[in-house]
Amino acid sequence: MNSSLPSLFSPIRFRNLEIKNRIFMSPMCMYSAQDGVPNQWHLVHLGSRAVGGAGLVMVEATAISPEGRISDRDLGLWNEEQQKAFAPIVQFIKEQNCVPAIQLAHAGRKATVPDAVAPSPLPFSDKFKVPHELTIEEMALLKSKFAEATQRSLLAGFEVLEIHMAHGYLLNEYLSPLSNHRRDDYGGSLENRMRFPLEVAKVVRDSWPQNLPVFVRISATDWVATGWDLKESIELAKRLKFIGIDLIDCSSGGSTPDANIPAGPNFQVPFAAAIRKEAEIATGAVGLINEGAQADSILREGMADAIFLGRELLRNPYFPLQAAYDLGVDIAWPTQYIRAKN
């Protein structure tokens, strides 16, 4: 890190891509799309955070297929219309000296469609229908869908791609023993439960330019004694690093509605710190990080390499400008807003 700047405002490089600061906007579903197509809401919502000074702005969970959406108002990237609609949004983000990123996802058994799919025919709760257990052939088709969405992301102009392996959605469902009861090579042991998510990660990494980074968001724990845990997350991170993944975005929970999650400031930071140390891979910390000094301290103490902000950026799109002021660092403001800088 550049010692002349607060850690939060030191640039960070992944492969050939330099990001101006360590403030990354988390992917957050807006439930505002029609047929998966982004619209003016997404332009203003995402563009405002780019104008506000974030180093990276990530588009919400974007489905690789219609059946992979959490709801029918989710974004998608399975056709050319969606790809073309993303392009001007991506271009606007870039014009603000901000890196455009997108998270590719499949909702699995948490999709609100009649024919939801999952590794095993286990519903998320009694409010969800029993999902169809994916066959090996259907899993191969899903991998091709991830590859196609990856290629569309590049054509739309995105510079960072994140794979969603968290929060109880499809790839997380394979990882967690709470949702994966398969008896074939994709269930049972940790090695088997990691197999399909790792295959997807390899397909995505191989479909994305080598000079641009790929992130993975994980749930580092299910917060259930018999579920997925940090030790397994560290092993997964090691495997992802070997494939060529550049950063682990460390969230938690979502696999079961019964988890008791001790949410509070920095409650997920220890996951980012442990994975960073044990797997020797860059990590992002996320979860109730609301102040510039708090975020800077996490980075300065070596617990993470970047800070993903969600709700705080919903409250204040200009959080980076405020954090810079609070930390005593002079950063570039949008020319149009200079009159308000002092």
Model confidence pLDDT, tens digit, residues 82-102: 999 999 999 999 999 999 999
pLDDT digits (tens, 9 = 90+) for 180-200: 999 999 999 999 999 999 999
Q: In the structure encoding, which two tokens stand for residue 235, read together?
A: 């092993």
Look at strands 132-133 and 117-118 and give their pairing: parallel
What band does 1 get if pLDDT is binned at 50, 70 and 90?
A: very low
Which H or E element spans position 46? helix 40-51
For residue 339, being part of any structural domain is answered with no
For residue 259, being part of any structural domain is answered with yes
Q: Which residues contact 338 (CB under 8 A, 6 or more apart)?
A: none
Overall number of domains in the chain:
1
pLDDT number for residue 113: 85
For residue 279, being part of any structural domain is answered with yes
From CA 136, how far away is CA 130, in angstroms rounded? 19
142 within 8 A of 104, measured Cβ to Cβ: no
Mean pLDDT of 3-29: 94
pLDDT number for residue 5: 87
Residue 279, SS3 per DSSP: helix
335 Rama class: left (phi>0) / alpha (psi -120 to 50) / beta = alpha
From CA 252, how far away is CA 271, in angstroms rounded? 9
pLDDT number for residue 2: 42
Q: Give the burial class of 80: count Cβ atoms within 10 A of its Cβ; 0-12 exposed, 13-18 middle, 19 or more buried.
A: exposed
For residue 338, being part of any structural domain is answered with no
For residue 6, being part of any structural domain is answered with no
For residue 157, being part of any structural domain is answered with yes
From CA 55, how far away is CA 21, in angstroms rounded? 5
Q: Give the burial class of 92: count Cβ atoms within 10 A of its Cβ; 0-12 exposed, 13-18 middle, 19 or more buried.
A: middle
Q: Diameter of the chain by CA atoms?
A: 64
Mean pLDDT of 132-160: 98
Place of tokens 């050939």: 16
For residue 141, being part of any structural domain is answered with yes
Residue 330, SS3 per DSSP: coil
Domain containing 37 equals: 12-332
What's the CATH number where 247 sits?
Answer: 3.20.20.70
pLDDT number for residue 342: 78
Helix 292-300 crosses helix 319-327 at what angle (to 10 degrees)?
70
For residue 321, being part of any structural domain is answered with yes
pTM comes to: 0.97
User: Is 169 an annotated catalytic residue?
Assistant: yes
Which H or E element spans position 63? strand 56-63
Which among 169, 174, 186, 318 is annotated as catalytic?
Answer: 169
